[in-house]
């Protein structure tokens, strides 16, 4: 199945609590973002945001310059419906991240559990190049993947697990690692998944 078809199928057939990555509130991401003390008009993009609650949380905190990119039109339809009138405050982009051609610089790039689906070296390098094109001079990056203690698959698809060092190497050309931590994500099914989160800043 093609990548896009897979994700359209997921968001057409499963409720939010039937997927392992569901979080009622994205505490880790929100804590990371608020600790950066970005201005409220900072240009923030969430890659593969799906219908997660990050946009809701950031809107509630007063952020005004938000973009969500996802390969699935259905996921975006779901979050737009949930946000209602507030959806007009978010820019939505339906695109495969590997086809994304950023036209303006972003101050902050967030990716939780999207990047790790890229398992071919060529695709990982392409993602890294797109990040470099997209991030402003003082811009920052926050990437969450499964760690080497995490699952080997997600949503039935192969993923690439990362360690602090292997993730650092992906972005080292233009980004300096600020720090990493791991976290057990409790899934709605009563299991846990070990995530690695790393923050980077442009060199
Ligand atoms: C595991 S979910 C994570 C969703 C969200 N980031 C979260 O933390 O709840 C992966 C998301 O990435 C999106 N996705 C997968 N591959 C993608 C790609 N190549 N380009 C853009 N989005 C992609 C899927 O549609 C889905 O919304």
Instruction: Give me the pLDDT at residue 1, please.
Output: 63
Residue 39 CA to residue 172 CA, distance in Å, equals 26
d(CA 123, CA 129): 10
Residues in the chain where the model's pLDDT stays below 70: 1
Is residue 189 one of the residues assigned to a domain? yes
Task: Compute the distance between CA of residue 155 and CA of residue 50 in angstroms, rounded to an integer.
Answer: 13
Residue 20 placed within a domain:
no
Measured in Å, how far apart are the chain's first and last C-alpha atoms? Answer: 38
Determine the pLDDT at residue 86.
Answer: 98
CATH number where 166 lies: 3.40.50.150
The residue length of the chain stands at 203
Question: What is the pLDDT at residue 191?
Answer: 97
Structural domain boundaries enclosing 195: 43-202
Instruction: Say what the pLDDT of residue 142 is.
Output: 98
Q: What is the pLDDT of residue 134?
A: 97
> Which two three-digit tokens encode residue 54?
């990050």
Distance CA 74, CA 203 (A): 37
Kindly give the distance from the C-alpha atom of residue 13 to the centroid of ligand 1, in angstroms, as a whole number. Answer: 16
Ligand 1 contacts (CB < 6 A) are: 3, 7, 21, 48-50, 52, 70-72, 75, 96-98, 112-114, 117, 154-155
């Amino acid at each position: 199945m093609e990548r896009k078809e897979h994700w359209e199928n997921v968001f057409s057939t499963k409720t939010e609590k039937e997927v392992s990555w569901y979080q009622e509130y994205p505490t880790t991401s929100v804590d990371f973002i608020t600790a950066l003390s970005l201005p409220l008009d900072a240009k923030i993009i969430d890659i593969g945001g799906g219908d997660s609650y990050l946009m809701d949380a950031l809107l509630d905190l007063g952020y005004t310059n938000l973009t969500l990119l996802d390969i699935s039109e259905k996921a975006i339809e779901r979050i737009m419906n949930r946000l209602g009138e507030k959806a007009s405050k978010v820019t939505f982009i339906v695109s495969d991240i590997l086809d994304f051609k950023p036209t303006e610089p972003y101050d902050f790039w967030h990716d939780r559990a999207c990047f790790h689906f890229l398992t071919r070296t060529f695709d990982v390098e392409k993602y890294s190049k797109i990040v470099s094109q997209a991030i402003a001079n003082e811009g920052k990056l926050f990437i969450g993947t499964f760690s080497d203690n995490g699952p080997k698959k997600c949503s039935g698809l192969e993923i690439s697990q990362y360690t602090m060092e292997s993730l650092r190497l992906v972005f080292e050309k233009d980004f300096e690692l600020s720090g990493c931590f791991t976290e057990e994500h409790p899934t709605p099914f009563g299991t846990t998944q070990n995530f690695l989160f790393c923050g980077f800043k442009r060199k």
